[in-house]
């Protein structure tokens, strides 16, 4: 009996260890880089007239165009499902690019967003039409802006200004952005991908601190 027990343990233990480490590897797999060198937000200013930037920030980047009110439901979806859960992460931010002249609409929406979570890491940033197009084109995605410079899609940009997304999504194949009008997509796919990227930087920070201590 002991012989069979020992043999069973010797057979099962390696398989269990393999499955455990395989699952861990998949879970902590970094979010794929789809585009490098996304254009910096040169010339854009927030509602307080201060510059905004992508470098050294984990950014959810959106383009809501001149008719911001038409996208307020998308902003609320994002605030409830993504922003409210992650805004306390030190280097995490939301940046919504808008053409100049949309400031009043943005202020109204910002007041509503404050009812969901503090907006200290949510920025409406204003610039010239050509600069909005420049930033969007630098994403090198399969998506487009409409005539008002808007899109329901938002994008995850890492600290090195690389676009992160999915290379083999079961529905879209390569997934450059997330449809903020689709609550299921935001709540499931985007929420998961933001968690993966934040965890990636948390692990890197822990490793850096560990190396410093050594």
Sequence-distant (≥ 6) Cβ neighbours of residue 20 within 8 angstroms:
none
- The structure's pTM equals 0.83
**Considering the domain boundaries, does residue 6 fall inside one?**
no
What band does 202 get if pLDDT is binned at 50, 70 and 90?
confident
Side-chain half-sphere exposure of 39, counting CA atoms within 13 A: 16
Tell me: the pLDDT tens digits for 92-121? 999 999 999 999 999 999 999 999 999 999
Q: In terms of DSSP H, where are the helices of the chain?
A: 2-27, 72-78, 84-86, 103-113, 129-138, 183-184, 191-213
CB 187 within 8 A of CB 174: no
Tell me: the pLDDT tens digits for 157-190? 999 999 999 999 999 899 999 999 999 999 999 9
Domain of residue 150: give its range. 33-213
**Considering the domain boundaries, does residue 10 fall inside one?**
no
**Considering the domain boundaries, does residue 20 fall inside one?**
no
Q: Facing residues of 169 across strands? A: 173
Q: How many CB atoms lie within 10 A of CB 86?
A: 19
**Considering the domain boundaries, does residue 144 fall inside one?**
yes
**Separation CA 36–CA 139 (nearest Å):** 8
Tell me: the pLDDT tens digits for 31-79? 999 999 999 999 999 999 999 999 999 999 999 999 999 999 999 999 9
**Separation CA 151–CA 168 (nearest Å):** 22
**Considering the domain boundaries, does residue 105 fall inside one?**
yes
**Considering the domain boundaries, does residue 153 fall inside one?**
yes
Q: From 1, 122, 130, select the one nearest 62 (Cα to Cα).
A: 122
**Considering the domain boundaries, does residue 74 fall inside one?**
yes
Q: How many CB atoms lie within 10 A of CB 37?
A: 11
Residue 94: give its domain's CATH number: 3.40.30.10
Query: What total number of domains does the chain contain?
Result: 1
**Considering the domain boundaries, does residue 89 fall inside one?**
yes
Sequence-distant (≥ 6) Cβ neighbours of residue 126 within 8 angstroms:
44, 45, 46, 97, 98, 99, 100, 102, 103, 106
First to last CA, the chain: 48
């Amino acid at each position: 009996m002991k012989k069979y027990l020992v043999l069973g343990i010797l057979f099962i233990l390696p398989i269990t260890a393999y499955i455990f480490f395989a699952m861990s590897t998949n879970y902590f797999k970094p979010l794929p880089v789809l585009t490098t060198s996304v254009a910096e937000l040169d010339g854009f200013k927030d509602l307080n007239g201060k510059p905004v930037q992508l470098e050294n920030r984990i950014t959810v980047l959106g383009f809501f165009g001149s008719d911001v009110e038409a996208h307020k439901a998308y902003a609320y979806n994002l605030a409830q499902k993504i922003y409210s859960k992650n805004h306390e992460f030190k280097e995490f931010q939301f940046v919504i690019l808008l053409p100049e002249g949309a400031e009043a609409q943005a202020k109204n929406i910002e007041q509503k967003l404050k009812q969901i979570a503090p907006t200290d890491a949510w920025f409406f940033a204003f610039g010239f039409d050509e600069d909005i197009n420049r930033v969007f084109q630098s994403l090198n995605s399969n998506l487009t802006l409409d005539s008002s410079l808007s899109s329901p899609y938002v994008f995850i940009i890492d600290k090195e200004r690389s676009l992160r997304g999915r290379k083999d999504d079961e529905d879209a194949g390569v997934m450059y952005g997330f449809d903020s009008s689709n609550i299921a997509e935001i709540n499931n796919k985007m929420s998961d991908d933001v968690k993966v990227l934040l965890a990636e930087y948390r692990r890197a920070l822990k490793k850096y601190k560990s190396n410093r201590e050594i």
